[in-house]
Amino acid sequence: MSTVEKIQRQIAENPILLYMKGSPKLPSCGFSAQAVQALSACGERFAFVDILQNPDIRAELPKYANWPTFPQLWVDGELVGGCDIIIEMFQRGELQPLIKEAAEKHKEAE
């Protein structure tokens, strides 16, 4: 399986997916930490991929997503954006319904 196929599978299998540096419990950069805080405050479970443990994904994802930086939040197969966008959406109250909706859709599908 190619790296791009692996990325596509991860995005398809996880309705709420954060590509980040480190893990939600131990983020390895401030931007990832902020993204995790905002996502966690939405109250739904989300999947994550530690790009520091996956250098192939770290190298390929920016090209695939056409987004140069990490973290990257994907919801329902769509790239939402990075840390600034996540925080901005959270502060505007736009992130919470998006995350809740994706989580509920996934629960119904199970």
CATH of domain 3-100: 3.40.30.10
User: 42 a known binding residue?
Assistant: no
pLDDT at 50 over 80: yes
Q: Does a cis peptide bond (omega within 30 degrees of 0) precede residue 24?
A: no
What is the pTM assigned to this prediction?
Answer: 0.95
User: 58 a known binding residue?
Assistant: yes
Mean pLDDT of 44-72: 97
- The residues pairing with 50 across neighbouring beta strands, listed in sequence order, are 20
Mean pLDDT of 6-30: 97
User: Tens digit of pLDDT for each residue in 85-107?
Assistant: 999 999 999 999 999 999 998 88
Q: Look up residue 22 and give its DSSP letter.
A: B
User: 83 a known binding residue?
Assistant: yes
Helix (H, G, I), strand (E, B) or coil at 27: strand
